[in-house]
């Protein structure tokens, strides 16, 4: 998509015309808006399934990641007619269900795509998420250690999961769930149980302390974040850091002590999609396999 800085490009996507303004504007120090739009087009078959039917919160960087950013929940007045929206709690959220909406958002400088744990027409979460948050990228090894311990626990419990980088300094483990199969109260029983196990096993490494000043150099196991109304960065979303890192789904076999979160840039993710490391998830199959969580949560309740 070659263009001069001030040129206006018009794309026709699914019979809808989407304008790309200032395509050569630098959104990152070495990445233009045009290159970012090309990334979104490339990953859209993988990204869009995670965005559909989710009340979307974006972080926009209209003048690039080195300048001011802002959260956007309400769709702006100039939102085009082809963009689907949904009112909830007084806000008119965007539903990013198709490529034309995704590209329109990208042109607005929407870089981070944060999604709730449930779809708008459902009552409970579609996944359980463990957010593994080390104090800095220099402590990323703590996220690896926590992930491997949780993976071992889940395998012993016959629970299937996948893992992704956060696109910053941590990682997230996701357990897909069938529609309307669990309440947040039920999933909290499980997340609290696993988080407490980690802290009791390695109190020098892990903590559930909410106040950063009290965590010292320990990894924060954030299970409270998994709740109604909270959000998580979507798989394949880029982050607003200068490295243009992507929240990247990984093969569990890649989660070793040599894993480096700075590896997963936009360019590297495009290469992964075209190569052997591309993670092909059958979420429906994973959801069915995790039906046994009901009995497990019941057993945990009986113990507490």
Q: What is the pLDDT of residues 101-136, one digit of tens each?
A: 999 999 999 999 999 999 999 989 999 999 999 999
The yes-or-no verdict on residue 280 having pLDDT over 90 is no
The yes-or-no verdict on residue 73 having pLDDT over 70 is yes
As a residue count, the chain comes to 304
The yes-or-no verdict on residue 281 having pLDDT over 90 is no
What is the share, in percent, of the chain residues with pLDDT greater than 90? Answer: 85
Beta strands at 84-88 and 91-95: parallel, antiparallel or unpaired: antiparallel
Q: What is the mean pLDDT of residues 185-201?
A: 93
What is the share, in percent, of the chain residues with pLDDT greater than 70? Answer: 97
- Which segments within 68-211 are labelled E, that is strand? 70-72, 84-88, 91-95, 110-116, 127-133, 162-165, 171-176, 206-207
Q: What is the pLDDT of residues 248-265, one digit of tens each?
A: 999 999 999 999 999 999
Q: What is the mean pLDDT of residues 155-160?
A: 95
Q: According to the model, what pLDDT value does residue 301 have?
A: 79
Q: According to the model, what pLDDT value does residue 294 have?
A: 85
The yes-or-no verdict on residue 8 having pLDDT over 60 is yes
The yes-or-no verdict on residue 244 having pLDDT over 80 is yes
Residue in the structure block whose two tokens are 């972080």: 59
Average of per-residue pLDDT values in the chain:
93
Q: According to the model, what pLDDT value does residue 223 have?
A: 87
Asked if 191 contacts 131 with a C-beta cutoff of 8 angstroms, the reply is no
The yes-or-no verdict on residue 266 having pLDDT over 80 is yes
Q: How many helices (H) and strands (E) does the chain have?
A: 7, 16
d(CA 27, CA 196): 41
Displacement of CA 160 from its chain's centroid (Å)? 18
Q: What is the mean pLDDT of residues 262-272?
A: 95
The yes-or-no verdict on residue 4 having pLDDT over 60 is no
Q: According to the model, what pLDDT value does residue 299 have?
A: 87
Q: According to the model, what pLDDT value does residue 276 have?
A: 66
Q: Is the sign of the CA dihedral 77, 78, 79, 81 positive or negative?
A: positive
Displacement of CA 85 from its chain's centroid (Å)? 20
d(CA 130, CA 164): 11
Which residues, in sequence order, are bridge partners of residue 13? 16
Tokens of 206: 């892990």
Asked if 190 contacts 110 with a C-beta cutoff of 8 angstroms, the reply is no
Q: What is the pLDDT of residues 75-111, one digit of tens each?
A: 999 999 999 999 999 999 999 999 999 999 999 999 9
Neighbours of 65 (CB within 10 A): 22
Q: According to the model, what pLDDT value does residue 104 have?
A: 97
Q: According to the model, what pLDDT value does residue 24 have?
A: 95
- Which segments within 41-182 are labelled E, that is strand? 57-60, 70-72, 84-88, 91-95, 110-116, 127-133, 162-165, 171-176
d(CA 116, CA 129): 11
The yes-or-no verdict on residue 178 having pLDDT over 70 is yes
Half-sphere exposure of 64 (CA within 13 A, CB side): 16
Q: Which of 217, 223, 213 is nearest to 204 (CA)?
A: 217
Asked if 198 contacts 146 with a C-beta cutoff of 8 angstroms, the reply is yes
């Amino acid at each position: 998509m070659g263009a001069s800085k001030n040129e206006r490009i018009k794309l026709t996507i699914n019979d809808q015309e989407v304008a790309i303004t200032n395509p050569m504007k630098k959104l990152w120090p070495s990445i233009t808006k045009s290159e970012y739009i090309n990334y979104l087009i490339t990953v859209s078959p993988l990204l869009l399934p995670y965005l559909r039917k989710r009340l979307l919160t974006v972080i926009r960087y209209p003048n690039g990641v080195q300048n001011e950013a802002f959260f956007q929940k309400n769709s702006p007045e100039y939102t085009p007619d082809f963009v689907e929206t949904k009112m909830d709690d007084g806000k008119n959220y965007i539903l990013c269900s198709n490529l034309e909406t995704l590209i329109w958002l990208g042109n607005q400088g929407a870089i981070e795509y944060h999604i709730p744990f449930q779809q708008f027409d459902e009552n409970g979460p579609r996944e359980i998420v463990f957010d593994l948050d080390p104090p800095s990228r220099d402590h990323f090894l703590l996220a690896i250690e926590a992930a491997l311990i949780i993976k071992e626990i889940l395998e012993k419990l016959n629970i299937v999961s996948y893992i992704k980088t956060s696109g910053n300094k941590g990682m997230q483990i996701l357990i897909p769930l069938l529609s309307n199969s669990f309440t947040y109260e039920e999933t909290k029983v499980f997340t609290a149980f696993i988080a407490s196990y980690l802290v009791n096993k390695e109190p020098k490494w892990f903590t559930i302390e909410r106040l950063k000043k009290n965590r010292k150099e320990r990894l924060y196991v954030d299970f409270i974040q998994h709740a109604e109304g909270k959000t998580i960065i979507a798989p394949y979303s880029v982050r607003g850091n200068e490295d243009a890192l992507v929240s990247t789904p990984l093969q569990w076999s890649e989660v070793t002590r040599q894993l480096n979160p700075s590896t997963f840039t936009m360019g590297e993710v495009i290469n992964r999609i075209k190569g052997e490391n591309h993670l092909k998830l059958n979420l429906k199959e994973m959801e069915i396999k995790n039906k046994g969580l009901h009995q497990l949560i019941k057993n945990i309740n009986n113990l507490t």
